[in-house]
């Protein structure tokens, strides 16, 4: 479970909005000064992000209260694969399929682009169910 400290900004029945600081792994890296990603992390340092988390135990919350939120590693991996890998695989499959059929380069690009869009539509279809979406949402673990 990936855990993070956050501050409650609003709470309702079964859900809460929390604010957490963006933290980059670049802060611990010795090469951050010569790295483009390190420069970007310096630019966005100190910014907070507000997200909605599930409160399955309906813990009583007040704005400003510190809480611990968590997200299953498996759901993060699943979401990444679904969102990035599925459309990319469909793009490559479209280009290879058109190439095997002997299509020209322009038609290969068109088929690949169409299958990329179909991949995004498939992701949307697979995540349309609210129960499926809640599996990728952070959960309030405890109050501090």
State the residue range of the domain holding 40.
Answer: 2-71+138-143
CA dihedral over 120, 93, 76, 21, signed as positive or negative: negative
Pairing of the two strands 2-12 and 139-143: unpaired
Q: Which helix (H) or strand (E) holds 91?
A: helix 86-100
Domains held by the chain: number: 2
Say whether both 45 and 82 belong to one domain. no
With cut-offs at 50, 70 and 90, classify the pLDDT of residue 92.
very high
Q: What is the pLDDT of residue 135?
A: 74
Say whether both 87 and 120 belong to one domain. yes
Say whether both 67 and 98 belong to one domain. no
pTM: 0.62
Backbone φ and ψ of 69, nearest 5°: -115, 155
- Calculate what percentage of the chain has a pLDDT beyond 90: 31
Say whether both 38 and 93 belong to one domain. no
- 102-112: average pLDDT: 94
With cut-offs at 50, 70 and 90, classify the pLDDT of residue 122.
very high
Say whether both 58 and 84 belong to one domain. no
């Amino acid at each position: 479970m990936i855990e993070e400290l956050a501050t409650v900004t609003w709470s309702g029945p079964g859900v809460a909005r929390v604010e957490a600081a963006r933290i980059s792994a670049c802060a611990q890296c010795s090469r951050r000064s010569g790295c483009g990603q390190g420069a970007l992390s310096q630019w966005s340092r100190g910014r907070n992000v507000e997200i909605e988390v599930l409160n399955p135990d309906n813990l009583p919350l007040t704005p400003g209260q510190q809480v611990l939120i968590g997200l299953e590693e498996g759901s993060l991996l699943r979401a990444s694969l679904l969102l990035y890998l599925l459309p990319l695989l469909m793009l490559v499959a479209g280009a290879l399929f058109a190439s095997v059929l002997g299509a020209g380069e322009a038609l290969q690009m068109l088929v690949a682009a169409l299958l990329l869009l179909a991949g995004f539509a498939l992701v949307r279809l697979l995540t349309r169910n609210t129960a499926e979406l809640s599996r990728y949402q952070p959960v309030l673990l405890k109050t501090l």
